[in-house]
Amino acid sequence: FSQVKKKLVEEFKKQNFFPDDEYLENGFLALKQYYAVAVIDQLNMHAVSDKVDPFWHMHILFTEQYYNLSMNTLGFYMHHDPLDHDNTDKVDFIVKLYDYTNEVYDKMFSWKDENFYPEQMPRASMVCYHYTGDSSDRCEHIFPIKAEFEDFYKKYSKKVAA
């Protein structure tokens, strides 16, 4: 992640934000935790926090590295879908999805940085989520599909051709 970190620092400086090494390390740890959630709970989508999102965006810009991580480590391409705040139904769902993602974090990790993944986040701070296409036959699943989310998945999850 060294090149991603370098480029991210450049972008933060353009925004007049000068993060220290601890902030950056914690941000990349939070991103890696998000990726781990995507691997362990493949049947469900997850919403990322507005603090982790810049780390994810910058990683995606390094397309070869991101693609290789997705395919070789995660086992699938993890698509990023920004949230359109004019679509209030979708925003309502992403709020629920963020809460669910926090539940999964609490089950998977003994620690998470509340600066990067707070328990509660205002609607206006909801930014995006990921989807993976159909992962139903990839492996045994620790977390079942969240039944109350199935209609949303049918509406907004884009199936990816194999």
Query: What does the pLDDT look like over 27-48, one tens digit per residue?
Result: 999 999 999 998 888 888 899 9
Give the separation between CA 127 and CA 149, rounded to whole angstroms.
18
Q: For the CA atoms of the chain, what is the radius of gyration?
A: 15
Instruction: Kindly report, residue by residue over 115-130, the tens digit of the pLDDT.
Output: 999 999 888 888 877 7
- Is 96 within 8 Å of 151 (Cβ atoms)? no
Residue 158: its pLDDT value, please? 56
The H or E element containing residue 80 is: strand 79-82
Average pLDDT, the chain: 86
**Residue linked to tokens 């994810």:** 56
Give the separation between CA 141 and CA 123, rounded to whole angstroms.
30
DSSP 8-state class, residue 112: -
